[in-house]
A and B are shown apart, each in its own frame.
Chain A
Amino acid sequence: MSATTLETTSAAQSPAFDRARALGRHKAADSSFRWMTFAAALLVLVLLLGVAISLFIGAWPAFREFGFGFLISDAWSPPREKFGAAAAIYGTLATSVIAMLIGVPVGLGVAVFLTELCPPMLRRPVGIAIELLAGIPSIIYGIWGVYYFRPFMQDYLQPLLIGTLGNVPLIGALFAGPPLGYGLLTAGLVLAVMILPFVTAIARDVFETVPPVLKEAAYGVGATTFEVVGNIVLPYTRVGVIGGVMLALGRALGETMAVTFVIGNAPHIQSSILAQGTTISAMIANSFADADPGLATSSLLALGFILFVITFFVLAAARLMLARLAQREGR
């Protein structure tokens, strides 16, 4: 008995036992580390599910009360407890369309400049400057927009548009009304500046995936720079560019602070894009903190749920397209 004990003690001090113990310890550490990384990765999934489910639960009273009419009614009246999402959805879409119409062509232009035209010496500084534009927080766009861009709109651009395009039949109604400075167009233009660097960044990345040999072959048969861009680069990267554009659209749809400052926050649908309006995110930012618990809060959560669903599909489509380009590239 005592002999056995002695033997074990001596074995415990032997190198072989040390190694076994160390291995055992490593094994435990190894599997717990693996388990931790797995849990963290699952948490990412849980987060998205959590967002969707918690918003839906919060929104349920409003959906139950107003049904499908919530989507098509533009009433937003806390005292009468009548809520509808149409004005906010309209404002969100209108500002995003304006932003895309201006931000996408300019962003692509900058990307072409950076990849094809720019002297190598300038490529890095210009690229960084555009990325800084993307890094400026949206609240800064907001304060700048309301102090500088809004007066500019009110004093120059809006009177100009009312005086010229406002008199054209058919589209005149889009540019009607007094120049207030605040409004859908102002918000759309600020958004355009905000999404421009996103379009540029992604377009530049996908343009760089074009095999040089394709471009060289085109240049070799005498194509000009813009024939190369139009006939080689753009067709080759079409899926990626559309993906990037949709990613920018996702940003524009959900952008909050900059829009809240300059859109005027009026929950109405008006024909003029100069008129004040609101967007889903601006409406939530503006009225959530002092909304009555109950139907008002629930309706704002319902707006949030709608925004979440719209951006989810836009972003999902964007990612699928970018993934397709990456796959073709063999990454």
Chain B
Amino acid sequence: MANALYAGRRRNNVIWAALCYAATAFGLMWLALILGALLWNGFGGLSLDVFTKMTAPPGVEGGLLNSIVGSLIQTAIGLLLAAPIGILAGTYLAEYGRHSKLSTVIRFINDILLSAPSIVVGLFVYQFCVLPFGHFSGLAGGVALAVIATPIIVRTTEDMLSLVPNTLREAASALGMPRSLVIRKIAYRTVMSGLVTGVLLAIARMTGETAPLIFTALGNSLFSVDVTQPMSSLPLIIYEFARSPYAEQQKLAWTGALIVTAAVLTLSIVARLVSAPKRGGH
């Protein structure tokens, strides 16, 4: 009787354990399949032409230069807007307004923005950065990316600053340092690697974003560094070429996909390495 009970419990345990192993294998399988497909289809297309030639109409040898440059410009705009705003807002939440009611609200709203659908962000930026000017522009694309990136930086900045021991702040204040200097010279320096991590994660997120660019930057088959004009970017060109019936454009789409994924994954791994020593046990 007792033995049967034990055997049953042990059997359940084994079954559930097997299911968990299977779930993990299932999850890892997709990563392998996707990365495998990217390497298989994208690696062959990697050549100097990809980085030196423009996107071309079907039948003409082309590359991805204008898209790569467009991606870099728009990410830079996004970063220039999002990094200062995000770090300052995170500073307010962690330092000046740590316990205020307003901060609780802002924290909550920021968390919602953090996972808000990016296509909605695109619509929002279209409404106030494209419609008033009457045309799509790389600047609008950069603004859309900034809206996506800001909450990430706010969140990591606040999290990191709240790790700074209060004794450190008190020691600095006791020496007569004004509050803003305590924050800039002591708190920021203590968690510099954490702040860098947040920024890197935000860049990674911006690099892969497509949905908010479709109707802000629109895309451009010509080389353009003019941010007031429509601008190409890697995700947009992948979106366009992947649905193209022409083999050479499809091939470029895969190569672009490989470049984007490599960039995003490298950034997130570097971000992890940068913050690793501080986090200790995690």
Which residue numbers of A lie inside 8 Å of B, CB to CB?
26-27, 29-30, 33-34, 36-45, 47-48, 50-51, 54-55, 57-58, 105-110, 112-114, 116-117, 126, 128-133, 135-144, 146-148, 193, 196-197, 200, 224-227, 229, 247, 250-251, 253-257, 261, 281, 284-285, 288-289, 300-301, 304, 307-308, 311-312, 315-316, 319, 323
Given A44-B110, A126-B24 in contact, is the A146-B242 Cβ separation under 8 Å?
yes
A318 to B2, CA, bound (A): 43
> Is B56 part of the binding interface, using a Cβ–Cβ cutoff of 8 Å?
no
Pair A113/B21 contact, Cβ less than 8 Å = yes
| Given known contacts A143-B254, A261-B242, A288-B214, A226 and B116 CB-to-CB distance under 8 angstroms | no
- In the complex, chain B residues whose CB is within 8 Å of the CB of A37: 88-89, 91-92, 95-96
Known: A254-B118, A315-B116, A316-B112. A41 touches B92 (CB 8 A): yes
Contacts of B9 in A (CB 8 A): 224, 227
Determine the distance from Cα of A106 to Cα of B25 in the docked complex, in whole angstroms: 10
**Chain B interface category by residue count:** 35 or more
18 pairs across A/B with beta carbons < 8 Å?
Answer: A29-B178, A38-B92, A38-B96, A40-B92, A41-B106, A55-B123, A109-B23, A112-B20, A136-B34, A139-B210, A143-B242, A143-B254, A224-B10, A257-B210, A311-B115, A311-B120, A312-B116, A316-B108
Q: Which residues of A contact B127 (CB under 8 A)?
A: 54-55, 57-58, 301
In the complex, A323 Cα to B103 Cα: how many Å? 14
Within the complex, the shortest CB–CB distance from B23 to chain A, in Å, comes to 3
Task: Determine the distance from Cα of A106 to Cα of B93 in the docked complex, in whole angstroms.
Answer: 36
Question: In the complex the two chains form, is B180's CB within 8 Å of A132's CB?
Answer: no
From B43-51, B62-70, B190-198, B261-269, the one touching the partner chain is B261-269
Q: Which residues of B contact A (CB under 8 A)?
A: 9-10, 12-13, 16-17, 19-24, 26-28, 30-31, 33-34, 37-38, 41, 84-86, 88-89, 91-93, 95-97, 102-103, 105-106, 108-113, 115-121, 123-124, 126-128, 147, 150-151, 154, 178-181, 183-184, 204, 207-211, 214-215, 218, 235, 238-239, 242-243, 253-254, 257, 260-261, 264-265, 268-269, 272
CB distance from A19 to the nearest CB of B (A): 10
Give chain A's interface secondary structure class.
helix
Of all chain A residues, the one with the shortest Cβ separation from B212 is A256
Distance from A91 Cβ to chain B, minimum over Cβ atoms (Å): 14
Chain A proximity of B266: nearest CB distance (Å): 10
